[in-house]
Every structure is written in C-alpha cells, then in structure tokens.
Amino acid sequence: MLELKDFEAAADRLKNVIHNIPLSTSATFSAMTGAEVYLKYENQQKTGSFKVRGAYNKIMKRYAEGDLHAVVASSAGNHAQGVAFAASSVGVKSTIVMPRSTPIAKVSATQGYGADVVLAGNIYDEAYAKACEICEETGAEFIHPFDDEDVMAGQGTIALEILRDLPFVDMIFVPAGGGGLISGVAACAKQINPRIQIIGVQAEGAPAIANSFRAGERKPSDSVHTIADGIAVKTPGEKTFEYIQKYVDRVVTVSDDEIASAVLLLLERCKQVVETSGAAPLAAVLNNKVDVKGKKVVCVLSGGNIDVSFIHKIVEKGLITRCRQLKFSVLMPDAPGALERFSHIVAQQNANIILFQHDRVQTDLEIGEAIIHVVCEVGGVDHAKRLIDTLGREGYRVFTSQI
C-alpha cells in the first residue's frame, strides 16, 4: 500500500512542473451551506486538470528506470493531456485512445501536446479495450488513468497541498470515476490526519463506486449516462477500490441538474470555468448530500476542460434548474389586443420574455382560443411564483411543471 513517503516523492517530482494553486475560500458558498467552504482550483492546473499529476509522476518514474520508449493511454481527455504533456517533455511517443463522444476541445488539446489520438468506442471502457489492443500490437507501455499506484500517488499530492493551506480541514469532497483521485487523496490525507473525512462524489448516471462502496465489493454499472464525462466510468479500479474501502468515509451521488447548477454558480460567483465532473463536489455540498454545517470543507474542482459549445447547454440547463428561466404555457382568447394585455402584465412583474410561440391550431383548443408557449427570465422561484399567481388572478390558465 502507498505510504506517505510515496506521496512526498511524487510531490518532489512535480514541484517544478505543476502550478502551485492555494485554496480559495468562498463567502457565497459558505453562507449558502453554513460551512467554511474552500475550493481547490485544479481547473487552473497545467493542462487544465489534476490528471497531469499522476501521469507525470508515473512517466517520470518509469523514464528514470531507463526502459520507457512509447506509451499508450485511454482517456476522456484530462488524463490524455497529462500523458501527452509528460511524454513529450522527455521525448517519448504517446498514443491516446479517446471515446468518440469526447469534446472536440479535449481532442485538439491532446494533439496539441504532441500525442497521436485514436477515437474508439462510446465510453471510457471501450476506449480502454482498444488501447490494450494497441499495446499488444506495438509493445508500448500502458499508462492507466487511475488503477496504478504511481498515478494515485501523483493525484494524492493534492492532499499535501490542502493540508499545507488548511491543516485543520474537516472534510474533503472529491469527484470519483475510476477512483484514482479519491484513492490518492484519501490515502495521503488519512495517513497525515485520520480524523479528516473523505467524501467521494459520483454522478447518479454513473454510480459504480457508490454502489460498490455500499456493497463492499466491486459492482460495475450496466450503463452510464451523465453530462459528467470525466467520471463516467462503468467499473471501479481493482487497486483504487481497495484504497477507497480502507480510507474513504462515504460516497454520494448528484444529479446532472445539480451538477449543471454548480457549474453555473462557479461561472457567476467565482468567475471560474469548471468542467462538469469537477463541479460535482460543490454540487454535493450545496445540495446537502452530507451535513457540513460548522465544518471546514474543501471541494476539489478537478478540471476545467469543458467544450465551449457545451457551456451554453450547461448554462441553459442550470438556468432552468435554478428557476432563472421559467417555461410555461397560457390559454387566452384569440382576439386583437390579447397578446398586448398579456405582455403588459408580464412586464409589470419585471419578467423578460425571451421566447414566444403562438399556437391557435392545437386540436383541443376551442374556437376563439389560442395557447402561447413562453420562456421568461425571472429572478428565482419566488419571482416565478409571483408571476404565475398574478397571471392566475388576471384570469389566465397557466400550465408549468417547474414550480
């Protein structure tokens, strides 16, 4: 099993490579939760993710042994960039197998670090199988994204930095997919201070570690479906699960809506671009998955490599989830002035119409009726309720599933 000296050795290899990013406290999130919330911004890390830590530690250790000539990895993007960066820094050829669904930005960034990219499969596990085939054909060494103790030691250096900045931390929330990050952080932190609680966070649509943790044995998921592509793993690692059982206190899940809302909050309140998997720990804290009141809490925001075109979708989903946008339909007379009267009422309530569709041919409408479908910008649930209540008092039949 990994010992504290292994994490310290990894930190020594990384000290002139990675960015030193101190913890940041958030007054906003602290007020929302009743805890002291600190954020570990690994989205600002070199290559945009914590993954460079484990990949660099593994490759540098193997390169120093003198027999590393080519490497292969499978990854949804972040591990890929870490491997490509580390390999190119010592002149070693790298081939990265990525799922076909990987965001274009991650593919381009990986190629930019000098790797050959092969797209195969729809999820990580299928890309992993292809990477193993390439290793057999070429004799290159496989760099596992999580189920490798050298990789885990590199990821665990995050815990050394957290405890340097916040020695009396009570809880550390860590995203969990295959388990490399959480196993490394947990093993390192617990060996320094066993009272620290380590909380793993998974997406509801990819809960393999959560299910395995409850069962006490590895239980692969039949399928995965989540916007958090970085933690969309069907099967926990064998080695990582041993560490998770030994050192992790609890594993919780969050919904895609909760993740989207956390991404939006980080954009709005912290001016930070954090990818969906990286926002999962904050989503868990904000949605009371664990009682954090009165605790010193650290959320590891594991990466920021999100496709720019996908940010729009996340923002839209987050706005709907937080009732910053309200979708509803209204039945009204199909008569001159009806739309003007409706628009005037909405304006008086300080709501802004951003989408409007007028329908007078729906089959269940009476002659002389029309139904309009509206999306409004509102200030939250209370504002939305006031708008709906006002429309009701004015004689409109309103249909919405949001509130």
Which uninterrupted H or E stretch holds 85?
helix 78-89
Nearest residue to 180 (alpha-carbon basis) of 113, 102, 242:
242
Torsion of CA 55, 61, 66, 69, to 10 degrees: -10
Residue 79: CA count within 13 A, CB half-sphere: 35
386-to-146, 351, 382, 389, 392 alpha-carbon distances in Å: 50, 10, 6, 5, 10
- Interhelix angle 4-14/149-165, nearest 10 degrees: 80
pLDDT one-digit tens code per residue, 9-32: 999 999 999 999 999 999 999 999
pTM here?
0.87
Q: Is 74 helix (H, G, I), strand (E, B) or coil?
A: strand
- Quick one: tokens of 256? 């895609």
Are 272 and 41 in contact by the 8 Å Cβ rule? The answer is: yes
- CA–CA dist 117, 130 (Å, integer): 12
Write down the pLDDT at residue 50: 97
Task: Match 């590393």 to its residue by tokens.
Answer: 68
* Length of the chain in terms of residues written: 403
Residue pLDDT, tens place only, 190-241: 999 999 999 999 999 999 999 999 999 999 998 899 999 889 888 999 999 9
Q: Which helix (H) or strand (E) holds 157?
A: helix 149-165
- 54-58, 106-110, 146-150 — which is least confidently predicted? 106-110
Is a pLDDT exceeding 70 seen at residue 321? Answer: yes
Cβ 124 vs Cβ 233: under 8 Å: yes
Give kind and range of the element (H or E) at residue 385: helix 381-393
- Region 112-125: mean pLDDT is 89
Q: What is the mean pLDDT of the chain?
A: 93
